[in-house]
């Protein structure tokens, strides 16, 4: 227990009220917020704070591919930022323009550390070290959050989400499992009056998605009665790392995915017929939506 972050204690303290457990991602899964957050909030701040104005076109393409249209979709903002820089560094058009892509060794060290990948952790590092690269990184991340708070509102849950959350209250314990800052998650779930359907809203400050599921559910529920719902490969990896089942929300086909879950898949989960060939077919379909090679390399 001593190794568990204090802020994650609500997950550890969760006690089952039902035999079934469901973890639910938020951005791009419950809310159609991925496009506006990345295209209007993350990427413009990347270009501005990291000096990529001369290659803004390519920075935008890389940011959209990593965060929206690839197998990296949904990854924590810090590994995503590094992936964008790495893709830009190896792109011929960027090299010919002589653009300087940040190497960011200190951010890479932060990612490789055992610290939670949150602004709070980074802020403590900045206080301890005064490192200029980490200071810039924190300024960028805070600017992203401020832009999101200013711009992203009025984005309702996908159709069928509220209906299935209401059904879940009768048979499953549900929590939010996300790498979005908790403040933003709480604001969005409260704005649409769906926060009462979940027992905990877990964001990046409470650990990784894998840790969220482990703290909240491991050893408390039978594995075939644990399910993670998400729109990104990281959601699936978190589920499998904890022996849980996974239900994919297909990017670009979210409404159809939620309708299928509401009309068919949740009933199979409760009936014990979800795992096996049925889940495997859904995952195979999901993986066709998220390539690992960017379009400029194809």
What per-residue confidence (pLDDT) applies to 298? 84
Determine the Cα–Cα distance for residues 266 and 139; give it in Å rounded to an integer: 42
> How many independent structural domains does the chain possess?
2
What per-residue confidence (pLDDT) applies to 242? 98
Indicate if the pLDDT at residue 2 is higher than 70: no
In this structure, are 127 and 196 located in the same domain? no
Domain end call among 117, 151, 185 = 151
Domain end call among 95, 129, 151 = 151
**Residue at 294 is within a domain:** no
Q: Which domain holds residue 88?
A: 34-151
pLDDT tens digit string along 156-210? 999 999 999 999 999 999 999 998 889 999 999 999 999 999 999 999 889 899 9
**Tokens encoding 285:** 């379909």
**Residue at 1 is within a domain:** no
In this structure, are 282 and 175 located in the same domain? yes
Q: Which DSSP state fits 292? A: S
Query: Which residues, 6 or more positions from 20, have their beta carbon under 8 angstroms from its beta carbon?
Result: 171, 172, 173, 221, 225, 226, 227, 269, 270
How many angstroms from the chain centroid is the CA of residue 128? 28
CATH number where 213 lies: 3.40.50.1000
In this structure, are 143 and 163 located in the same domain? no
**Tokens encoding 139:** 């300024």
Determine the Cα–Cα distance for residues 288 and 297; give it in Å rounded to an integer: 18
In this structure, are 125 and 204 located in the same domain? no
**Residue at 144 is within a domain:** yes
In this structure, are 175 and 235 located in the same domain? yes
pLDDT tens digit string along 104-143? 999 999 999 988 888 999 999 999 999 999 999 999 999 9
- For residue 208, list its beta bridge partners: none
pLDDT tens digit string along 8-50? 899 999 999 999 999 999 999 999 999 999 999 999 999 999 9
Indicate if the pLDDT at residue 284 is higher than 80: yes
Nearest to 50 by CA among 91, 95, 107, 112: 107
**Residue at 220 is within a domain:** yes
Is residue 7 very low, low, confident or very high in pLDDT (cuts 50, 70, 90)? confident
**Residue at 296 is within a domain:** no
Domain end call among 110, 130, 151 = 151
**Tokens encoding 253:** 């086909």
Determine the Cα–Cα distance for residues 269 and 262; give it in Å rounded to an integer: 11
In this structure, are 171 and 52 located in the same domain? no
**Residue at 209 is within a domain:** yes
Query: Which residues, 6 or more positions from 65, have their beta carbon under 8 angstroms from its beta carbon?
Result: 87, 294, 295
Determine the Cα–Cα distance for residues 263 and 133; give it in Å rounded to an integer: 50
In this structure, are 41 and 147 located in the same domain? yes
In this structure, are 188 and 269 located in the same domain? yes
Mean pLDDT over 82-93 rounds to 97
Quickly tell me which residue has 């039902």 as its tokens: 18
In this structure, are 132 and 247 located in the same domain? no
pLDDT tens digit string along 218-275? 999 999 999 999 999 999 999 999 999 999 999 999 999 999 999 999 999 999 999 9
In this structure, are 26 and 127 located in the same domain? no
**Residue at 161 is within a domain:** yes
- Per-residue burial over 20-40, b if 16 or more Cβ lie within 10 Å, else e, is bbbbbbbbbbbbebbeebbee
Residues 73/251, Cβ–Cβ less than 8 Å: yes
Is residue 4 very low, low, confident or very high in pLDDT (cuts 50, 70, 90)? confident
In this structure, are 141 and 166 located in the same domain? no
In this structure, are 282 and 169 located in the same domain? yes
**Tokens encoding 255:** 């409404």
**Residue at 252 is within a domain:** yes
Mean pLDDT over 285-291 rounds to 94
């Amino acid at each position: 227990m001593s190794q568990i972050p204090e802020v994650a204690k609500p997950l550890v303290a969760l006690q089952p009220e039902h035999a079934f457990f469901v973890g639910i991602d938020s951005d791009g899964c419950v809310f159609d917020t991925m496009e506006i957050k990345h295209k209007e909030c993350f990427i413009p701040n990347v270009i501005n704070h990291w000096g990529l104005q001369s290659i803004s076109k390519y920075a935008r393409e890389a940011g959209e591919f990593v965060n929206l249209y690839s197998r990296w979709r949904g990854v924590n903002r810090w590994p995503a930022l590094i992936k964008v820089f790495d893709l830009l560094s190896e792109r011929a058009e960027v090299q010919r323009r002589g653009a300087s892509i940040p190497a960011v060794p200190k951010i890479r060290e932060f990612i490789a550390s055992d610290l939670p990948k949150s602004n709070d952790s980074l802020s403590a590092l900045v206080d301890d070290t005064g490192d200029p690269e980490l200071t810039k990184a924190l300024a960028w991340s805070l600017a992203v959050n401020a832009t999101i708070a200013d711009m992203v509102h009025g984005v309702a849950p996908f159709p069928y989400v509220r209906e299935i959350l209401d059904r879940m209250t009768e048979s499953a314990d549900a929590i939010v499992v996300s790498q979005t800052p908790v403040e933003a998650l709480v604001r969005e779930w409260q704005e649409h009056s769906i926060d009462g359907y979940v027992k905990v809203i877990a964001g990046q400050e409470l650990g990784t998605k894998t840790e969220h599921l482990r703290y909240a559910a491991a050893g408390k529920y039978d594995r075939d009665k644990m399910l993670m719902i998400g729109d990104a490969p990281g959601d699936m990896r978190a589920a499998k790392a904890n022996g849980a089942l996974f239900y994919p929300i297909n990017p670009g086909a979210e409404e159809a995915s939620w309708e299928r879950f509401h009309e068919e898949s949740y009933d199979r989960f409760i009936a014990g017929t979800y795992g096996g060939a049925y889940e495997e077919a859904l995952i195979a379909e999901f993986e066709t939506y998220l390539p690992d090679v960017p379009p400029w390399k194809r």
